């Protein structure tokens, strides 16, 4: 079977990021790179500040990442750079090494350099993940727990950035800051709060304006750019660059450069080097190893999920080699940590903007880094004019998008048990940390499966039977369960028999007691992969399962005995052999009825002729039905004129 051609968009074949693609699609990638740069600049600075790193660290990350990953990865539309989802990890690392907001400059610098050493080692671990094909590990984590992790990160970002958006400080654990938040908002610095609130208003209102105004210019206008164009003049008007105080309602408030980005005079002044003594220092080496694991695991998971999400948005449905992309991100993380940068991932917000702005190839990622380099090299003083309140507002908005009420609603629609896992993960992360939190989410899902009656052995290993259906189709019959804990070997079998061996695949889930939401969603993704490869993946056997919600990817639980009615119409001369062979395939679960039927055919003269036929009807278990269908297909290939119909039936026992 030959694969279907690449999808076509406006008659254009799928672009490729090779030398020919660089010149052919230059105008598209250059324009998109410029527009993404306008979004990336403030976000890179904001993420750096929120992570306890110098402001230019995030810009360094985007520059180095854009150059290296463009040539190392085959991901055509992802934008690599610092991400809000890693803020919690990075700030946790520097704080464990002695960083304190507003504390000793030297102590904070030392903590920053120790965190860079962690970033170098974590990057090497990511490279190893890619070489050992660990990209598939992204398939293990249940969907609800991953969404809960991201939502918890969003909540933490909002909690920590809201005080900064109104001119206050935020120190301590998230729940501690949350308790103090009402008091901080009541004692906000009015001028700084005005900058922050106006910035927030722009970020929330711009999507509504874009929805109402369909102008191409408005659609491509980044909200972050509007924030800068408004916030910088407001900062100049309030004279933030000079130390002074002002009175409002008989209260004195300070104003000064502490409310502006502390940017170095050149990009070379932003370069810093890792302090590897953190791994030999008895005071810090345990924490250093812990943060290496966090950087590598959570960073890799986020990057893999983002790359997969961007592939689904790609108009040409090009597929990223996730292991290769992991190697590319790991190499770039190692390199940028050696010169003072933040860790990076495939970033979903900028990647979505890249697609919306018409990018064709991976060179749009390169161009966005080139524009960042040009700005920080030629006009670093301009960055110093950016108010911190505006950057905090951007992060509050980003956090809100990660943990928006719509996210809770969407998870609930997939099933009440999914919302329980989602909320448990959020609470776990807020009460403990990211790793323990996602572990809590996974444990909750595991317990739900136990509550549904699944034995642990069924959850840890898929029980699969493989049988050929015809020349280019194989049937995979699953037994016991198809859940997140046994999905990876299940997926490997599907990909090997289908995408590698070039077969259509029929997946029979009738023998499963439970198919969870994660597996249903991932099977749907695999259907798209098969379609892009010119193959077909079909899922059958769920007629006897009860959906736990109305969502198409909801978990399914077996509701009762499920059988198949197999009806065969054949020449009466075949009655004895057919009945004997079919009955032999069905043990005690086989119920057979037989009867003669008359069939009408058209003769050569055009008049109907009656022929004598026999009709066999058998009610059998789904697995038995599949064996019988294989036998009947073989008879058809050998020339037997058979008519076969299969219907699902429910029986009472």
pLDDT of residue 607: 55
Report the distance separating Cα 90 and Cα 111, nearest Å: 11
Q: What length does the chain have? A: 653
Q: What is the DSSP string of 276-342?
A: GGGGT-TTTHHHHHHHHHHHHHHHHHHHHHHHHHHHHH-TT-----HHHHHHHHHHHHHHHHTTTPP
Look up residue 117 and give its two tokens: 């050493």
Per-domain residue ranges for the chain?
20-410, 413-451, 456-558, 562-650
3-class secondary structure for 583-614? HHHCCCCCEEEEEEEEEEEECCCCCEEEEEEE
Residue 601, pLDDT > 70, answer: no
Higher-pLDDT residue of 622 and 114 is 114
Q: How confident is the model at residue 631 (pLDDT cuts 50, 70, 90)?
A: confident
Mean pLDDT of 92-109: 92
What pLDDT is stored for residue 364 in this prediction?
Answer: 96
For residues 55-83, average pLDDT: 95
Predicted confidence (pLDDT) at residue 425 exceeds the cutoff of 70: yes
Check pLDDT > 80 for residue 202. Answer: yes
CB 590 within 8 Å of CB 625: no
Residues 262-314: tens digit of each pLDDT: 888 888 888 999 999 999 999 999 999 999 999 999 999 999 989 988 988 88
Question: Average pLDDT, stretch 67-71?
Answer: 95
Is 70 exceeded by the pLDDT of residue 350? yes
CATH number of 456-558: 3.30.750.24
Q: Token pair for residue 53?
A: 């790193």
- Report the percentage of the chain scoring pLDDT > 70: 93
Lowest mean pLDDT among 168-172, 293-297, 365-369, 401-405: 168-172
Alpha carbon of 113 to those of 109, 169, 212: distances in Å?
6, 23, 47
CB 499 within 8 A of CB 533: yes
Q: Any idea which fold 562-650 has?
A: Alpha-Beta Plaits (3.30.70)
What's the whole-model pTM score? 0.80
- Decide: 30 and 17 in contact? Cβ < 8 Å: no
Q: What value does the mean pLDDT take over residues 249-259? A: 92
Closest CA to 126 of 337, 312, 276, 287: 337
When pLDDT is cut at 50, 70 and 90, the band that residue 9 belongs to is low
Give the pLDDT band (50/70/90) at residue 4.
very low
Exposed e or buried b per residue across 326-358, where buried means at least 16 C-beta atoms within 10 angstroms of its C-beta:
bbbbbbbbbbbbbbbbbbbbbbbbbbbbbbebb
Structure tokens at 34: 């410029």
Could you tell me if 623 and 511 are in contact, meaning their C-beta atoms sit under 8 angstroms apart? yes
Encode pLDDT of 389-421 as tens digits. Answer: 999 999 999 999 999 999 999 999 999 999 999
pLDDT at residue 18 greater than cutoff 60? yes
pLDDT(7) > 50: no
Residue 567: φ, ψ to 5°? -110, 125
Report which of 590, 641, 625 is spatially closest to residue 506, judged by C-alpha positions.
625
Residue 10 confidence (pLDDT): 58
Is residue 2 over pLDDT 50?
Answer: no
| Sign of the CA dihedral running 371, 374, 375, 377 | positive
User: How would residue 369 be classed by pLDDT, with cut points 50, 70 and 90?
Assistant: very high
Average pLDDT over residues 465-474: 84
Q: What is the mean pLDDT of residues 239-266?
A: 91
What average pLDDT does the structure give for the chain?
A: 88
pLDDT at 388: 95
- The model's confidence at residue 605, banded by pLDDT at 50, 70 and 90, is low
Name the band, by pLDDT with cuts 50, 70 and 90, for residue 653. Answer: very low
Is-same-fold flag (456-558; 562-650)? no
Least confident range of 222-236, 414-428, 432-446, 453-467: 453-467
Residues 545-587 have pLDDT tens digits of 888 898 989 999 887 666 788 888 888 888 888 888 888 876 5
pLDDT, greater one: 12 or 549: 549
């Amino acid at each position: 079977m030959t694969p279907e051609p690449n999808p076509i968009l406006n008659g254009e074949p799928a672009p490729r990021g090779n030398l020919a693609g660089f010149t052919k699609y230059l105008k598209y990638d250059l324009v998109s790179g410029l527009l993404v740069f306008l979004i990336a600049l403030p976000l890179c600075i904001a993420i750096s500040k929120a992570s306890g790193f110098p402001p230019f660290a995030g810009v360094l990350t985007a520059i180095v990442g854009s150059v290296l990953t463009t040539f190392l990865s085959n991901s055509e539309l992802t934008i690599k750079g610092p991400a809000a989802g890693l803020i919690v990890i990075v700030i946790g690392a520097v704080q464990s090494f002695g960083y304190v907001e507003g504390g000793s400059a030297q102590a904070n610098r030392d903590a920053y350099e120790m965190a860079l050493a962690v970033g170098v080692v974590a990057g090497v671990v990511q490279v190893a993940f890619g070489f050992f094909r660990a990209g598939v590990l992204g398939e293990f984590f249940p969907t609800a727990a991953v969404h809960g992790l991201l939502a918890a990160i969003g909540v933490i970002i909002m909690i920590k950035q809201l005080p900064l958006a109104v001119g206050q400080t935020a120190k301590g654990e998230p729940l501690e800051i949350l308790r103090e938040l009402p008091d901080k908002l009541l004692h906000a610095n009015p001028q700084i709060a005005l900058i922050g609130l106006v910035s927030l208003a722009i970020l929330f209102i711009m999507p509504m304006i874009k929805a109402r105004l369909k102008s191409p210019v408005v659609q491509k206008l980044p909200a972050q750019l509007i924030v800068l164009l408004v916030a910088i003049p407001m900062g100049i008007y309030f004279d933030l660059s000079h130390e002074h105080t002002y009175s409002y309602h008989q209260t004195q408030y300070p104003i000064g450069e502490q409310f502006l980005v502390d940017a170095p005079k050149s990009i070379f002044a932003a370069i810093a080097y890792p302090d590897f003594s953190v791994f030999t220092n008895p005071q810090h080496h345990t924490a250093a190893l812990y943060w290496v694991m966090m950087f590598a695991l959570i960073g890799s998971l986020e990057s893999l999920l983002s790359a997969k999400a961007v592939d689904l948005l790609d108009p040409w449905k090009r597929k990223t080699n996730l292991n290769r992309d992991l190697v590319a991100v790991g190499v770039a993380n190692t390199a940028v940590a050696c010169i003072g940068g933040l860790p990076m991932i495939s970033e979903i917000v900028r990647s979505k903007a890249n697609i919306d702005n018409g990018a064709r190839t991976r060179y749009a990622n390169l161009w966005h880094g080139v524009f960042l380099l040009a700005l920080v090299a030629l006009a670093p003083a301009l960055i110093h004019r950016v108010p911190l309140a505006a950057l905090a507002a951007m992060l509050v908005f980003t956090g809100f998008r990660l943990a928006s009420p719509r996210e809770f609603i969407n998870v609930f629609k997939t099933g009440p048990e999914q919302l329980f896992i989602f909320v448990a993960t959020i609470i776990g992360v807020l009460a403990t940390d990211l790793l323990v939190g996602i572990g809590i989410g996974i444990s909750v899902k595991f317990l739900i499966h136990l509550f549904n009656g699944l034995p642990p052995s069924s959850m840890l290993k898929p029980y699969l039977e493989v049988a050929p259906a015809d020349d280019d189709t194989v049937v995979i019959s699953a037994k016991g369960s198809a859940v997140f804990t046994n999905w990876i070997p299940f997926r490997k079998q599907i990909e090997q028999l289908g995408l590698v061996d070039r077969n259509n695949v029929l997946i029979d889930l009738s023998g499963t007691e439970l198919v969870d939401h994660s597996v249903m969603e991932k099977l749907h993704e695999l259907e798209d992969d098969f379609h892009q490869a010119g193959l077909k993946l079909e899922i059958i056997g769920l007629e006897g399962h009860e959906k736990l919600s109305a969502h198409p990817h909801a978990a399914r639980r077996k509701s009762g005995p499920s059988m198949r009615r197999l009806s065969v119409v054949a020449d009466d001369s075949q009655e004895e052999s057919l009945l004997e062979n079919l009955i032999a395939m069905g043990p005690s679960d086989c119920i057979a009825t037989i009867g003669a039927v008359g069939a009408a055919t058209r003769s050569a003269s055009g008049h109907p002729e009656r022929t004598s036929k026999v009709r066999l009807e058998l009610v059998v278990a789904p697995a038995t039905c599949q064996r019988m269908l294989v036998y009947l297909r073989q008879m058809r290939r050998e020339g037997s004129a058979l008519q076969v119909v299969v219907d699902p039936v429910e029986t009472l026992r």
